[in-house]
Chain A
Amino acid sequence: MNHLTKRQKIAAVVTLVLALAFPLVFTDTFPIHVLILVYMFGVLGMGWNIMGGYAGMFSFGQAAFFGIGAYTSSFLLMNFGVNPWIGLVVGGITAALVAAAIGYPCSNLRGHYFAIASIAFAEIVRVVFNNWKLVGAAEGLSLPMLDESFANFMFHSSKLPYYYIILAFLLIAIATCYFVATSKMGYYFRAIKESHEVAEVLGVNVVRYRLIAIMIAGFLSAMAGTFYAQYILYIDPESVMLLPISVQVVLISMLGGAGAVIGPVIGAAVLIPIAEYTRITLGHQGTGVDMLIYGFLIMLISMYQPAGVWGLLSSIGKKVK
Chain B
Amino acid sequence: MEEQLLQQIVNGLLIGFMYSLIAIGLTLIWGVMNIVNFAHGDMLMIGMFTSFWLFTLYGVDPLFSIPVCFVLLFVMGTLIYRFIVSKVMKGPMLAQVVVTFGVSIFLSNLAVYFWTPDFRLLPPTMLDGTWEIGDIILSIPKVVASIGSVIVSLCIFFYLKKTKTGKAILATEMDRESALLMGINTDRINSLSFGIGSALVGAAGGFLSTYYYIYPQVGGLFGTISFCVVALGGFGSIEGAFIAGILVGLTQTLGGYFFDPSYKYAIVFGIYLITIWIRPQGLLGW
Interface residue ranges, A against B (CB under 8 Å): 52, 56, 58, 60, 102, 105-106, 108-109, 111-113, 115-117, 119-121, 123-124, 127-128, 130-131, 243, 247, 250, 254, 258, 286-289, 291-292, 294-299, 301-303, 306
Q: Say yes or no: is B131 at the interface (Cβ < 8 Å to chain A).
A: no
Q: In chain B, what residue has the closest Cβ to A304?
A: B87
A299 touches B269 (CB 8 A): no
Q: How far is the CB of A4 from chain B (nearest CB, A)?
A: 25
Contact A123:B94 (CB < 8 A) given known A109-B276, A292-B113, A298-B99 = no
Which of B36, B112, B117, B216 makes the CB contact (< 8 A) with A115? Answer: B36
Q: Are A298 and B101 in contact (CB under 8 A)?
A: yes
CB of B84 within 8 Å of the partner chain: yes
Q: How far is B263's CA from A254's CA once the two chains are assembled, in angstroms?
A: 33
Decide if B102 touches A298 in the complex (CB within 8 Å): yes
The reply on B95 being an interface residue by CB < 8 A is yes
CB distance from A124 to the nearest CB of B (A): 5
Query: A117 with B276: in contact, given A298-B105, A299-B106 (CB under 8 Å)?
Result: yes
Residues of A within 8 A of B265 (CB): 123, 127
CB distance from A190 to the nearest CB of B (A): 13
List the one stretch of B54-62, B187-195, B223-231 in contact with chain A.
Answer: B223-231
Instruction: Identify A254's interface contact among B93, B98, B260, B272, CB under 8 A.
Output: B98
A302 touches B88 (CB 8 A): yes
Hey, which chain B residues are within 8 Å of A119, CB to CB? Answer: 224, 227
A131: contacting residue among B104, B216, B262, CB under 8 A: B262
Distance in angstroms between the alpha carbons of A56 and B92 in the assembled complex = 11
Q: Is B205 an interface residue (CB 8 A)?
A: no
CB distance from A285 to the nearest CB of B (A): 11
Residues B105 and A247 in contact, CB atoms below 8 Å apart = yes
1/0 per residue B207-222: CB within 8 Å of A?
Answer: 0000000001000100
B97: interface (CB < 8 Å): yes
B residues in contact with A111, CB < 8 Å: 93, 96-97
Is the CB–CB distance between A292 and B266 below 8 Å? no
* CB pair B266 A127 closer than 8 Å: yes
A-side contacts of B93, CB under 8 Å? 56, 58, 111
CA distance A121 to B103 in the complex (A): 22
Contact call B266/A302, Cβ cutoff below 8 A: no
Q: Are A291 and B101 in contact (CB under 8 A)?
A: no
Q: How many Å lie between the Cα of A128 and that of B102 in the bound state?
A: 27
A294-B105, A306-B91 known; A109 and B280 CB under 8 Å? yes
CB proximity of B133 to chain A, nearest CB, Å: 33
The answer to whether A302 and B117 touch across the interface, beta carbons within 8 angstroms, is no
> When chains A and B are docked, how far (Å) is the Cα of A112 from the Cα of B109?
23
Residue of B95, B105, B109, B269 near A123 (CB, 8 A) is B269
Of the candidates B109, B227, B266, B277, which one forms a contact with A291 in the assembled complex, judged by CB atoms under 8 Å apart? Answer: B109
A260 CB to nearest chain B CB (Å): 13
B105, A120: Cβ atoms under 8 Å?
no
